[in-house]
Structure 1
């Protein structure tokens, strides 16, 4: 095994509990990249466009034969069979009768499982007026309204698709516009997917999972969450979690935030265990005796209160999930949008203007994956812009792990890119090495995850005798170079930091780090 492979395996096990294949060296986009996308089982699932026999915005959900005249145009269709009126009542679409089943609508004190209305499948709510128009259009056409007609992808003829960009796996909108590069195929799951065989799913191309941890407050864990998370950790499949919200003000949002913290702690899930965020699922809900908010200002307070509870507990990788139409109405605020990094949209494009570089798109609710019973949501998680810019030859990249607090340095672009993909923060090119000259050795401490870089062969041999892994020559430096690279040591963490910035050297030294002088010199 190469030093690079050993390093990726080590940091994955020690700090991110995830393993990834290294992407190829970045290459410019070619026309053939658009016509011949990389094919893997999970990613080859279609992102279908709307069919005349399908619900608007939900190409795999059946259009009803009719919509009861008693259901107002401004009602919200929330499943194949149900609508929610402005006063919060759940109605049968075809009969217009009020639904009272507590399994579907809950009670005044108990929230229902939000997926019960759809038998565990995701559904993007849509206005009743749009469904009525679709029913009329379907009746005027020769097509039958009794079944859906999802359209499979064929070289981007109909929808979003997987391909390659900058030498990495990527996901594109139907128009060919890049959505994300360094992309991962991710599923989101709940108890409705039952007992998942995660090894089969991983073998079938699943590269990550978002697990429902629960919904609302006082409802306990999703019944499959503990097993799902335990198995994902064991198999090294990156994961995050989500909580479906029933909050109607800041107070109830704070309860939901505290609920997430308690559930995560119950499972023993620390911030460093999760590669993906903790998501706050904000959708238009239905709950007997309660009405969801419609004012973006109210949702601002809800989001802020939930974030405060998670952040106070040390969970800082947070995001909001919703669907595009809700983001453009009840969630239409700069605060909410800035926090939103995952959206649901089942057409040929995401339809949302992300403010963040890292983003995710739930592009279908009807994927099929080995090891998972029935349909499952498929998502593309990645980055719109390259997360590590390829520097000049001999660039030494610097990265920071927000979970462990460690820095790392490497001249290998793919190593820097892989670390950034699994959550390390890219901090730019620290300095330039040389093609030849005096060697700088790299050693790794398997006990605390620290790396050390040194020109001193004696120091190298002593550390190797104490259990550090000697990883050979990291790079070379020119003995005649003029610009100093300073070395600092943190006696608390055992970490060394290297910098060409004299101000940083002084400030970090004043913060308690030991200033160890010039480690070597560089020409740039």
Structure 2
């Protein structure tokens, strides 16, 4: 064979090799790591199998629910502060707690003394957790946001954090009731600062009277967590969209002494897994 034909044959062989598709499968994610977007049906099934759905907890002051009950929602969780004391997070998770919101800060100078214990304990037990800030109307939003950031570490696995806004008529230091426009502007400022720092916009928790009095539901691009302990949110907050519903403040959960707030996520298991960053 002439040199020319040898050269042509070599070029064709190289081109053929370069066009082949590798048969080596991409590596699987490490055990314990969340499955990334683009997950297979099998990985979704595995993630869902880890959930305990439709749990029904005790209540020291139960409400006679009509219509759609809290237990018709599959994903339940708690919010806690120093008043719950030490928590057996593994027992709580085994009972069906899928998420927990932990009080971190209040105003611009108070930090919950149990926050770090709760933050670490929930993580060790595999409970999805986020932190919340209780807002006071006697300090600027920017100051309160900095206070929260000082106490709550960045964690890519955490839930979006929460701004708790409600009237404070029983406070010994701050009973101000600013106008709705002022409150909405302050809320927006707080949410913007936390979103810039943590990379995800916080959820806003509120109560029936505060929602009605301030027009806080007009905030754009904000997900809401609504308290409604005597009726479904579609009755208490007509037309409102919500991500979480707090349905009682007197719940009883294994692993927690005394009463605790109980909540549901407004969606099914797959939506929960996606929203919480588990798949």
Report whether the alignment pairs 1:160 with 2:51: no
Q: Which residue of 1 aligns with 2:184?
A: 300
TM-score for the superposition, normalised by structure 2: 0.74
Q: Secondary structure at the match of 1:308?
A: helix
Q: Computing the radius of gyration over CA atoms, which structure comes out larger, 1 or 2?
A: 1
Paired with 2:270 and 2:120, the residues of 1 have a C-alpha distance of: 32
Please give the per-residue CA displacement for 1:141-179, whole angstroms capped at 9, x wherever unaligned.
Answer: xxxxxxxxx4456xxx5762323xxxxxxx2xxxxxxxx
User: Are the equivalent residues in 2 in contact too, given 1:187–1:209 (CA < 8 A)?
Assistant: yes
C-alpha change, 1:194 and 1:312, in structure 2 (3 Å) is same
Report whether the alignment pairs 1:368 with 2:259: no
Q: Which residue of 2 aligns with 1:53?
A: none
Report whether the alignment pairs 1:224 with 2:110: no
Q: Secondary structure at the match of 1:341?
A: strand
- CA shift, 1:236, in A, is 1.4
Please give the per-residue CA displacement for 1:27-80, whole angstroms capped at 9, x wherever unaligned.
Answer: xxxxxxxxxxx753xx3446xxxxxxxxxxxx94xxxxxxxxxxxxxxxxxxxx
Root-mean-square deviation (Å):
3.4
C-alpha change, 1:284 and 1:39, in structure 2 (3 Å) is closer
Report whether the alignment pairs 1:328 with 2:212: yes
Out of 413, 418, 422, the residue aligned to residue 276 of structure 2 is 422
Paired with 1:365 and 1:327, the residues of 2 have a C-alpha distance of: 18
Q: Which residue of 2 aligns with 1:198?
A: 89
Q: Which residue of 1 aligns with 2:103?
A: 212
Q: Which residue of 2 aligns with 1:246?
A: 136
User: Are the equivalent residues in 2 in contact too, given 1:338–1:354 (CA < 8 A)?
Assistant: no
TM-score for the superposition, normalised by structure 1: 0.41
- CA shift, 1:355, in A, is 4.0
Out of 63, 75, 80, the residue aligned to residue 184 of structure 1 is 75
Paired with 1:13 and 1:385, the residues of 2 have a C-alpha distance of: 15
User: Are the equivalent residues in 2 in contact too, given 1:338–1:355 (CA < 8 A)?
Assistant: no
C-alpha change, 1:344 and 1:151, in structure 2 (3 Å) is closer
Paired with 2:75 and 2:217, the residues of 1 have a C-alpha distance of: 28
Q: Secondary structure at the match of 2:214?
A: coil
Unaligned runs of 5+ residues in structure 2 are 1-27, 38-43
Report whether the alignment pairs 1:263 with 2:147: no
Please give the per-residue CA displacement for 1:242-274, whole angstroms capped at 9, x wherever unaligned.
Answer: 1111134xx62111100111111xxxx324130
Paired with 2:145 and 2:168, the residues of 1 have a C-alpha distance of: 18
C-alpha change, 1:11 and 1:330, in structure 2 (3 Å) is same
Please give the per-residue CA displacement for 1:297-319, whole angstroms capped at 9, x wherever unaligned.
Answer: 01112112212321332342311
Q: Secondary structure at the match of 2:105?
A: strand
Paired with 1:386 and 1:242, the residues of 2 have a C-alpha distance of: 25
Q: Which of structures 1 and 2 has the larger relative contact order (alpha carbons within 8 angstroms, sep 6+)?
A: 2
Paired with 2:213 and 2:161, the residues of 1 have a C-alpha distance of: 23
C-alpha change, 1:301 and 1:340, in structure 2 (3 Å) is same
Paired with 2:211 and 2:268, the residues of 1 have a C-alpha distance of: 20
Larger relative strand fraction: 1
| Residues matched between the structures, number | 240
Unaligned runs of 5+ residues in structure 1 are 1-5, 25-37, 47-58, 61-149, 164-170, 172-182, 388-416, 426-524
C-alpha change, 1:8 and 1:326, in structure 2 (3 Å) is farther
C-alpha change, 1:299 and 1:368, in structure 2 (3 Å) is same
- CA shift, 1:331, in A, is 3.8
User: Are the equivalent residues in 1 in contact too, given 2:162–2:203 (CA < 8 A)?
Assistant: yes
Map 1:69-108; keep pairs closer than 5 Å: none
User: Are the equivalent residues in 1 in contact too, given 2:248–2:262 (CA < 8 A)?
Assistant: yes
